[in-house]
Amino acid sequence: MSEEAVVRILKEEEIGLISHLPCDRAGLLCSMITSMSPHVPLLREEDGVGVSAGAYLAGIKPAMVIQSSGLGNMLNALLSLHGTFHLPLPIITSWRGVYQEAIPAQVPFNSRLPEILRGAGIPYATVMDADELPRFREMLSLSFAEMTPTVTLISPACFTSGACPPPDFPDRSRTVAPIPGSVLRTPLMTRYDAIAAVAPHLGSALCVSNIGVPSKELYAISDRPENFYMLGSYTQASPIALGLALSTDREVVVIDGDGSLLGSAILPVIASLGPKNLTIICLDNGTFGSTGNQITQGYATTDLAQIAAAAGIRQCVQVQTAEELDAALRAKRGGPWFIHVIIRPGNADVPNIPLSPIEIRNRFMEAASTTPPFR
């Protein structure tokens, strides 16, 4: 059976974290993946790119199992994150649109995937029947040997027919905690001020900083090997931090932004998995700061602390001054925590980070593999 062969290969190749979304043409495989541990059920395939990057940075071999249409959501993140930092990620897909496809909307994108992947420079293999499954193992090996994403397009002809078996549904009854909210005052802190308040609390924690100016500001304030400076890949900061938190016992902090989190589906995934070593610091200036401080749609209407709480993150706090931020960081115990920091727009005049992507990756991975001193 092809599903059993896929799972066996994943185990033999010591894949340590699988991110996945279901496909009804590969129902049994989807069910078998959910029985493997650990695994991350996603709401959007793009988030799995960051989760997988975080796992690898912590020394764990990742993989993704998805429907091939999800590759359309992932291409920019794959090239800007894994392509920039040279990170491996084997992706196993149920190849829609090519074999007895009943849904017309699956055909236009999926039927062109070989050409799209070639154009993107992503190695791929097609598996049209069970006898060709060795190509899947070759793609797994190639990904880690060449430090690159790879894709295996597996025809639904290889899988047992039928939809995903229904799970055992747990009791959904619960008491919903009050959603935090407060009267928002005119913000005083800039992002630079907030990062300066956060930096003394980082200690030996692994820290992921959001793309663009936030990373440059963190570097200027407190450069350390435990900082992973993102250079691109919009929306991927918190997914990377989640992958890290699931793959290490170390404390993990992510300095994210309101624009990034509003564009992601990661908060419910974080809430459901509940990593106790993860703290999300959302620096909310109501703008896309790195691209010129353009106002977001949530500037005057959206409260991200309420969104995080509604997503299921139980430990949420909203702060507006350096003193309140300092107190929140001192008070946090366990997690995941969501600290919503209201700041005013504006970027500090700081230089570019004088480190190559590979230097950032290598020194971070070395720091992540080192046992931190007791403090």
Confidence of residue 44 (pLDDT cuts 50, 70, 90): very high
pLDDT in tens, 285-336: 988 877 777 888 888 888 999 999 999 999 999 999 999 999 999 998 888 9
8 A C-beta contact, residue 90 and residue 146: no
Sequence-ordered list of residues with C-beta below 8 angstroms from that of 301, at least 6 positions apart, any chain: none
C-alpha distances (whole Å) from 213 to each of 8, 78, 85, 286, 355 are: 44, 21, 18, 15, 15
Q: Are residues 126 and 223 in the same domain?
A: no
Residue 181 lies in a domain: no
Looking at residue 329, its pLDDT comes to: 96
For the chain, the residue count is 375
Residue 163 lies in a domain: no
- Is the same domain home to 222 and 355? yes
**Which alpha helices (H) appear in 80-190, and where do they start and end?**
83-85, 107-110, 113-120, 134-146
What CATH number does the domain containing 38 carry? 3.40.50.970
What's the average model confidence in pLDDT over 230-259? 96
186 domain residue, yes or no: no
Residue-number span of the structural domain to which 227 is assigned: 191-368
Same domain for 147 and 251, yes or no, is: no
The one-letter code for the residue type at 50 is: G
- In the predicted model, what is the mean pLDDT of the chain? 92
Our count of domains for the chain comes to: 2
Q: What is the pTM of this model?
A: 0.94
Q: Do 61 and 197 belong to one domain?
A: no
Instruction: State which of 158, 176, 205 marks the end of a domain.
Output: 158
pLDDT of 167 strictly over 50: yes
Lowest mean pLDDT among 14-28, 157-171, 232-246: 157-171
Does 373 fall in a domain?
Answer: no
pLDDT digits (tens, 9 = 90+) for 62-118: 999 999 999 999 999 999 999 999 999 999 999 999 999 989 999 999 999 999 999
197 and 132, same structural domain? no
Same domain, 224 and 324: yes
Output the pLDDT for position 106.
Answer: 94
pLDDT at 375: 41
